Amino acid sequence: MSAIVAQGVSKYYGDYPALRDVSFSVAPGACLAMLGRNGAGKTTLLKILAGLSSPAKGTVTIYGKPPRDGEARRAIGVLGHGIAVYDELSAFENLRLFGELYGLADPRKAAAEWLERTGLERAADGLVREFSRGMRQRLAVARAFLHSPRVLLLDEPFTALDDRAIAVLQTLLRQALADGRTIVMSTHQLREALDLATEVGLINRGRLAFRGERTQAMLDDPGWIYRHYGEA
Amino acid sequence: MPGFLRDSLTIAAKDLRSELRTKEALNASVSFSLVILLLFSFAFDPSAEQTREISGGLLWLVFAFAGALILNRSFARELPNDCLDALIASPISGAALFAGKAAANFLLLLAVEAVSLPVFGVFYNIRWWGQFWQLAGVLALGTWAMTVIGTMFSALTVNLRLRELMLPTLVYPVMIPALMSAIQLTTHLVGGEPLGGDVLVWLRLLVAFNVIFTALALSLVETVLVG
């Protein structure tokens, strides 16, 4: 069974077509880098995959279930543009909260473990509003990985990260792939993304213009895909 | 503990903890209610009988105006850092999210009322506690009506630029039946008379309003949040 299947997905904002008849599937354990220029439809696609938005047409399944199904939502970890943690709560309280919402057996233990893995254990009781930008980003990464999701949906995951957060995220993503988890990431940062990706997609004005395996030619020349399949 | 109840309590505890740390909405709402009561006491100089007749209306106008400040914050507090997306993406149901937020709002509104009511008694020289438990019950029912409508419209307007204006504009007209009931019942009880006879019609209307709109909100909130 495919981890993710999108079939004929379209989405409109008013009359503007953000996505047009997008179809693809992602096998379990694969890492799909979804490329595209600003406004191409990458974030809209990820929101639909995460169940945060409904498609106007078409269907999406996560391990055979619709994204709003409880089982599918437990399988998904989302790292979006915002860090999605509460400024008025401590780092520990934030992770415990999401651990409880995801029904983890021991949310306190999971929170402590992920604070340690992201190097935030000494700041566990500090309020997030007092954190540096890098610390907030690492906490966001911990929040997305907390419940060991089988599918990771990452929207521009490397954008605005500091060096330490990039290192933490790359390590976690490599480990996730080694564990057989599935990753879909939208990104502009081609080198970091292509380094991890096993497959590549390119969205151009809401249409899936290219979908294939990542090749050595892409690694050698990350701009190649835009020159061949991007808009003129 | 059933999943729905556990998730609702988790959300309510989170909202209350956040609010009690910042006290943004609570301080604003309490201050606003006290200022309105003070201004009304300067604006009118009613006799004892007139005061008794307008007491219910006066109290519920204060509660409704001050309550909007708390209800406005309910879903708006999820906007910084895109926390609302994280909640919607999590496995909790929209109904549990709504119930948790409504529970937190209900307790915060009751806290505002607990401060406003004694001040009202002092400013207007009213011995409002004659039918204390019945009045407490009516306040709880009226506050729940305000909570359920306000929380639902807070979810509906969360992404609007003018949500601070839109929320009261939408909430107050829908609340008219519940407000009328609460006003009639409160006026009766503040006057020292127990509920009974014709007045019970208002109680039935208030209970029916709460049942219908709670059921509607729980069934529609998922659509409101995800579309």
What value does the mean pLDDT of chain A take?
Answer: 91
A-chain CB neighbours of B92 within 8 Å are: 101
- For A37-95, what is each residue's pLDDT tens digit? 888 899 999 999 999 999 999 999 999 999 999 899 999 999 988 899 999 999 999 99
Tell me whether residue A124 is in a domain: yes
CB atoms A51 and B14 under 8 Å = no
A-chain CB neighbours of B21 within 8 Å are: 88-89, 127
- Candidates A85, A135, A145; CA nearest to B86 is A85
Tell me whether residue A21 is in a domain: no
The whole-angstrom separation of Cα A59 and Cα A5 is: 8
On whether the CB atoms of residues A4 and A30 are closer than 8 A, the answer is no
Tell me whether residue A72 is in a domain: yes
| CATH number reported for the structural domain that contains residue A94 in this entry | 3.40.50.300
Tell me whether residue A149 is in a domain: yes
Per-residue pLDDT, B1:
63
Tell me whether residue A59 is in a domain: no
Which spans in chain A are helix H?
42-49, 70-75, 91-101, 107-117, 133-145, 163-178, 190-196, 216-220, 224-229
CB atoms B90 and A54 under 8 Å = no
**Would you say residue A232 has pLDDT above 70?**
no
Q: What is the pLDDT along chain B (227 residues), one digit of tens a residue?
A: 678 999 999 999 999 999 999 999 999 999 999 999 998 888 877 777 787 788 899 999 999 999 999 999 999 999 999 999 999 999 999 999 999 999 999 999 999 999 999 999 988 888 888 889 999 999 999 999 999 999 999 999 988 888 888 888 999 999 999 999 999 999 999 988 888 888 999 999 999 999 999 999 999 999 888 87
- For A135-157, what is each residue's pLDDT tens digit? 998 999 999 999 999 999 999 88
Q: How many domains does chain B have?
A: 1
> Residues A38, A153, B74, A110: is their CA dihedral positive or negative?
negative
Tell me whether residue A166 is in a domain: yes
ipTM of the prediction: 0.89
The domain in which residue B8 lies consists of 3-226
Tell me whether residue A199 is in a domain: yes
Q: How many domains does chain A have?
A: 1
Q: Which of A52, A102, A143 sits opposite B88 (nearest CB)?
A: A52
Question: Using 50, 70 and 90 to split pLDDT, how confident is the model at A231?
Answer: low
CB atoms B91 and A51 under 8 Å = no
The domain in which residue A166 lies consists of 28-51+65-229
